[in-house]
Structure 1
Amino acid sequence: MGRIKKDYHELDELIARWNLSEADLRYVVENDRLTLSVRIYGACMIFGTYEVEDDWGAVPVPYKECWFDGIVDLTRSAVYQLFEVGEVRAADFFLPNGDFARFSNPDEYRAICRKNLVVREDERIKFEREELSELGHGEPSPPDFRRFFLGDDLWEFTEMQARSISFLYEAAKRGEPEQHCRKILEAACSASEKIGHLFSTRNDWQEIVLKAPGRRGWYYLEPRLVVAMSC
C-alpha cells in the first residue's frame, strides 16, 4: 500500500484508489460499513466505557484523563452533518474498541471538514476485504485522473487529458517516468501536435505534467501524484 507504511490514510487518497463515487461513499459511511476518523493533536481528553444499568440504560463511566495525540473515530451523527453542510464541530468521539473519548473542557471542540477525514489502516484493510466486492469494485480500480485531489487541491481533466496522465502514471510505476510527447499524445488518442494543445483548457497543467530537465519534448508526472495514487 504505497511506499510508506501508514497507520492511517487521508480519505480522498483512498477514494481515488478505490474509484468510489460520492454516492457510494455516503452509503457505506451512513450505514456503518466504513468508519471515518480524524487526527487530534495535543488535547486533554477523557476516555471511558459504557456500563448498562437497569434503570438508566448505558451509562458512561470515565476511566482515564490524559493528554492525547492520535486518531479517534467520528460519531455517525457528526459524519452525517459533515456530509450535509461541509463542516461539523465535534467534541465527542469513539475509539476502535467502542470506548468513548471527549475533551476534558466541555466547551472545547474541533471544527472538522472533508480534508481532515482519515481512515485507519486496519479499517482500510477490512473495507477492501469485506465491502469493495459487494459494491462491484473487486480489487481496487486504477486511479481515475478525470477528477482527483492532490493535497488540498481538486484537479479535473477531460477524458483525453486523463488518458495522457494515466499513461505517465503507469510509466512512472514501471520506473520509466520520462516519456516523449509523441507517445503521450498517442496514448491520449489526441490529434494534437503539442502537449500544450492537449491541455489548452487548463493554464496550470504544467503543475501536474512536468518538463524533463535537459530533454526537449520529454515529460513526466508530478512525483507527489504518483505516490498519492499508489497508496
Structure 2
Amino acid sequence: MEIEKAYFTLPEILDRWSISEADLIYLAENDKLRLSVRVFGIPLELGDYEDTGNGERFRVPWEHSRYSGLLDLYAQDVFQLFRCSEIHISDFRTPRASYAALYGEAEPIFVMIGDLLLRLEERDRFETETGFSGADTGPQLPIFSASPEYHEVRCGGHQFRLGPIQAQVVRALHEATRRGEAWQSGKAILSAAGSKSLKMSDVFKSQKQWRSLIESNGRGNYRLNCGCFRPIPFRHACPSGSTVGCAGG
C-alpha cells in the first residue's frame, strides 16, 4: 500500500529518480529544484516587497502568526548547508508571500541535511517541466489548464474563476510563458489589462490561493506558477440541425 504524501525525504527522491546525490545537490543549489524544511510553531512574518522608486525596496508585512508546516529554502542557503552539513536560517521562501521571515526575538532555526524535504508540488513541477521521472506513475493531470477566455483556470490542485482583469493578467502571463519570457513586469501587465491598481495583490485579493497561480520574484516581476498547458474542454450547444464540432449525447 502506498500512502499519499505532501512531501518526500531526499532518499525517497533519489530512489524515485535513480540519480546520484551529487546530481540532486547540483539541481538544488542552482535553484532548479526547491527544497524545504518542516517547522513547528515558529513566529513567522509574511509580507511583500515595495519599491522606493530609487532602486531600493523594503518589506511590507501583512501577517504575523505561529506557523507549522513546510517552508522553502533559498538556493544560497542550500549551497551553504550541503557544504557545512548544518546552518541557521531566519529567512525562507513560501508560495503564500514574497517573503517569510522569523520575527521578534526568535532564534534562527537550526537545519541539518537530514531535515531537507521536497514538496509534492515541486516534485511534480520538476518532472513536468523536464520530462524526467522515475517510476511510471500513470497519467498525470495537467499542471495548468484554461478555458478559451481564461475565466476558468486550474493550476495544480487549485481551480480559479477569474474576473475580466484577472483573466487578462493570467492570459498575458501564459502567453509570455509560451514565448519563453515567463517573468514579466507586474505593473506593465496590470496596466495593459486595464487595472486601476498596479499591485498584483490588490487585483487578486478575491482569490485566496492566487499565489499558487502566480509567482513573484520579489522585485516586481511575476510569472505563472504552473508548467505545461492543456485547454479545459467545454461542451457547447450545437446549432440547430448541425453536429459539426459538437459532442454528441
TM-score using structure 1 length: 0.54
1:155-174 superposed matches below 5 A? none
SS in 2 for 1:83: helix
1:160-199 superposed matches below 5 A? none
| Aligned CA distance change for structure 1 residues 62 and 98 (closer, same or farther; 3 Å) | closer
1:76-225 superposed matches below 5 A? 76-97=75-96, 99-131=98-130, 133=131, 138-140=132-134
Q: Which moved more, 1:99-108 or 1:45-54?
A: 99-108
Aligned length: 136
Higher relative contact order (CA 8 A, sep 6+): 1
* Structure 2 equivalent of residue 26 of structure 1: 25
User: How big is the alpha-carbon RMSD for the aligned residues of Structure 1 and Structure 2?
Assistant: 1.9
Which has the larger helix fraction?
1
Rounded to whole Å, the distance in 1 between the matches of 2:38 and 2:67 is 10
| Aligned CA distance change for structure 1 residues 55 and 139 (closer, same or farther; 3 Å) | closer
Structure 1 residue 17: Cα displacement: 1.4
CA-to-aligned-CA distance 1:86-135 (integer Å, 9 cap, x gap)? 1111111010255211112345111111110111111010112223x4xx
Structure 1 residue 27: Cα displacement: 1.8
The letter of the residue matching 2:23 is D
Rounded to whole Å, the distance in 1 between the matches of 2:124 and 2:84 is 29
The letter of the residue matching 2:22 is A
CA-to-aligned-CA distance 1:32-54 (integer Å, 9 cap, x gap)? 11000111101111111111221
Contact 1:36/1:119 (CA < 8 Å) preserved in 2? yes
Contact 2:46/2:97 (CA < 8 Å) preserved in 1? no
Contact 1:12/1:115 (CA < 8 Å) preserved in 2? no
> What is the percentage of aligned positions where both structures have the same residue?
35
**In the alignment, is residue 60 of structure 1 matched against residue 59 of structure 2?**
yes
Rounded to whole Å, the distance in 1 between the matches of 2:121 and 2:133 is 17
The letter of the residue matching 1:139 is S
The letter of the residue matching 2:9 is E
Contact 1:19/1:141 (CA < 8 Å) preserved in 2? no
| Aligned CA distance change for structure 1 residues 48 and 56 (closer, same or farther; 3 Å) | same
Contact 1:37/1:120 (CA < 8 Å) preserved in 2? yes
The letter of the residue matching 1:8 is Y
Rounded to whole Å, the distance in 1 between the matches of 2:27 and 2:105 is 31
Rounded to whole Å, the distance in 2 between the matches of 1:92 and 1:59 is 15
Rounded to whole Å, the distance in 1 between the matches of 2:31 and 2:97 is 13
The letter of the residue matching 2:65 is C
Q: Which moved more, 1:3-12 or 1:108-117?
A: 3-12
| Aligned CA distance change for structure 1 residues 101 and 139 (closer, same or farther; 3 Å) | closer
* Structure 1 equivalent of residue 2 of structure 2: 3
Rounded to whole Å, the distance in 2 between the matches of 1:12 and 1:98 is 29
The letter of the residue matching 2:57 is A
Q: 5+ unaligned residues in a row in structure 1: which ranges?
A: 143-231
Rounded to whole Å, the distance in 2 between the matches of 1:141 and 1:4 is 15
| Aligned CA distance change for structure 1 residues 99 and 124 (closer, same or farther; 3 Å) | same
Rounded to whole Å, the distance in 2 between the matches of 1:76 and 1:6 is 24
Rounded to whole Å, the distance in 2 between the matches of 1:110 and 1:58 is 25
